[in-house]
Structure 1
Amino acid sequence: MLDLDTVLRSQELADLADTTTRALRHYHKIGLLPEVPRDQNGYRRYSARDLIRVLRIRQLAMSGMPLRKIGDVLEQDTQRQDDLFG
């Protein structure tokens, strides 16, 4: 089980989200996935929150939503969370 302190590398995140590292890089490039910290070797370090975000991106994309619109939905999700949790 993952907790909020779990650190994942790109391949681990891709495997858990049933996607590819190439897709993750694309999500970064188009702004759907914000840049994350890197370790001393330059590898990205993802959190459980990043996994949740990628799963949401995949869910919306698989429902037929264009990637260019997914960013708007993610922003609304973030706003709702901010409203709930202050």
Structure 2
Amino acid sequence: MPSVLHWTEENTRQLEDVAAEFGCYVEYGAYPHLKLYENDQEVAAVQDWTTFGTVYLRPGYERAEEVLVRLAEALDPSTS
């Protein structure tokens, strides 16, 4: 993502909404992880401590590109 990511109540809710779209929940720790409800497999993680947001995706996850696009849309600060 091309911008700095600062967590707010609004974008945290948006993150959780995106997770739900993909059958996931958000597990919070050092940074949020999207994990599948069906088997707890991590499919994405959003890292926020650099000068831009970074999303890590599970190799081989069939919907990785879709998740990335939706996260970029939902977490874009210019649309908030």
Higher helix residue share: 1
Structure showing greater radius of gyration is 1
Using the size of structure 2 for normalisation, the TM-score is 0.28
Higher strand residue share: 2
Using the size of structure 1 for normalisation, the TM-score is 0.27
